[in-house]
Amino acid sequence: MKQHRLAAAIALVGLVLSGCDQKAATVELKTPAQKASYGIGLNMGKSLAQEGMNDLDPKAVALGIEDAIGKQKQKLTDEELTEAFTFLQKRSEEQAVKLSEETLKAGKKFLEDNGKREGVVTTKSGLQYEVVKKADGAQPKATDVVTVHYEGKLTDGTVFDSSIQRGSPIDLPVNGVIPGWVEALQLMHVGEKIKLYIPSELAYGAQSPSPTIPANSVLVFDLELLAIKNPNQAGDEPQAPAKN
């Protein structure tokens, strides 16, 4: 988290806060500008919370904006502000490392326990799956394009992506997705449904592809293979579990 990024986020939050009354109940959200202002504050608040910045003082943020807009003398020196930003950046990085380590440890324990359940198959790579609905259709190759329905979750059940919820299957190249999917799709038959448990090293590893998927996460998918298509027939649908 760069200093200028943090400062910009705080500034935007402050702009919203400084234009509002002290009591949220008195704030009107009727005009497009008012709604957009609220949206800016909401999005920035969520972003800051994800950065571990959930202890910011809204009144102090508003005070800084008021001083800047009113061209008042700043109440803290540039050196003091730099020190504060550096502290918050370091804290955020430390929290990210801690979360990553905790997620990795929890994921290994989850897979260890899950692999002992009846019906769960663990492959040589560490990928785990269980067949929900068996079928005898064709099996895709790495060079094929397939049509699938899926829902991706974290091990705590949090859904991060779902073609099922969108009500629209997607087409994707077998070799254009994360390693766990590449392996799993080639084990499946058209018409088959499986429950897939992907170790972090076969997913996104130590990288976090989005705020909803922490680094080192084990990913759980409900996956249905609907068809194998000619590569030239593939559409432009998003590749949810795409490679980095």
What is the SS3 assignment for 213? strand
Catalytic residue among 65, 129, 204, 213: 204
pLDDT digits (tens, 9 = 90+) for 142-152: 999 999 999 99
Catalytic residue among 85, 129, 197, 221: 221
End-to-end CA distance of the chain: 20
Task: Quote the pLDDT of residue 201.
Answer: 95
Catalytic residue among 40, 67, 160, 164: 160
Token pair 């730099």 in the structure block, residue: 82
Catalytic (active site) residue 221 = yes
More confident residue, 48 or 140: 140
pLDDT digits (tens, 9 = 90+) for 39-86: 877 777 777 776 667 677 777 876 877 787 788 888 888 899 899 889
pLDDT digits (tens, 9 = 90+) for 145-204: 999 999 999 999 999 999 999 999 999 999 999 999 999 999 999 999 999 999 999 999
Catalytic (active site) residue 161 = yes
Task: Quote the pLDDT of residue 215.
Answer: 92
Catalytic residue among 65, 161, 171, 194: 161
Q: Is pLDDT of 126 > 70?
A: yes
Catalytic residue among 85, 110, 150, 197: 150
Distance from C-alpha of 201 to C-alpha of 215, rounded to nearest angstrom: 10
Question: In the chain, pLDDT over 90 holds for what percent of residues?
Answer: 50
Q: Is pLDDT of 205 > 60?
A: yes
Q: What residue segments make up the domains of the chain, in order of their start?
A: 121-229
Instruction: State how far the alpha carbon of 138 is from the alpha carbons of 82, 129, 141, 228, in Å.
Output: 61, 19, 10, 8
Distance from C-alpha of 181 to C-alpha of 84, rounded to nearest angstrom: 44
Catalytic (active site) residue 204 = yes
Catalytic (active site) residue 197 = no
Closest-CA residue to 171 (of 236, 223, 126, 123) = 236
Closest-CA residue to 241 (of 144, 145, 173) = 173
CATH T-level topology, domain 121-229: Chitinase A; domain 3 (3.10.50)
Catalytic residue among 178, 194, 198, 213: 178
Catalytic (active site) residue 85 = no
Closest-CA residue to 128 (of 180, 187, 181, 197) = 197
Catalytic (active site) residue 21 = no
Decide if 155 contacts 106 (C-beta within 8 A): yes
**Residue 219, phi then psi, degrees to nearest 5:** -110, 140
